[in-house]
Amino acid sequence: MLKLLADKEMSIAAITECFPMSRTAVNKHLLVLFQAGLVTRQRSGKETRYKLQPEPLVKLKDWLVFFEQYWDEKLSVLKEYVEDDNDSD
């Protein structure tokens, strides 16, 4: 859903057409995304339109980039351990 909403603002009906789930299920997903601050919603008559709110994702990316150095190091150690273990068999 986030990828769809990155391209354009969409109604619940339009979003529902893109997924094999009910309108109610799509609405529940959108509510969670809205509560998480990942999408905004705008009422237009009877229709509610949603669009991506990218700022929280940028913060997440920055956080992940910071910790990537630690994960890369740990994964390298794990790789060496597994390769050494396989060599001893």
- 3-57 pLDDT tens trace: 999 999 999 999 999 999 999 999 999 999 999 999 999 998 999 999 999 999 8
Which residues have a Cβ under 8 Å from the Cβ of 28 and sit 6 or more positions away?
A: none
**Cα 77 from chain centre:** 29
- pTM listed for this prediction: 0.70
Q: 84: which 2 tokens?
A: 């050494």
Contact 38, 2 (CB under 8 A): yes
Name the β-bridge partners of 49: 11, 42
Q: Report d(CA 45, CA 64) in Å as an integer.
A: 40
Q: Report d(CA 13, CA 8) in Å as an integer.
A: 14
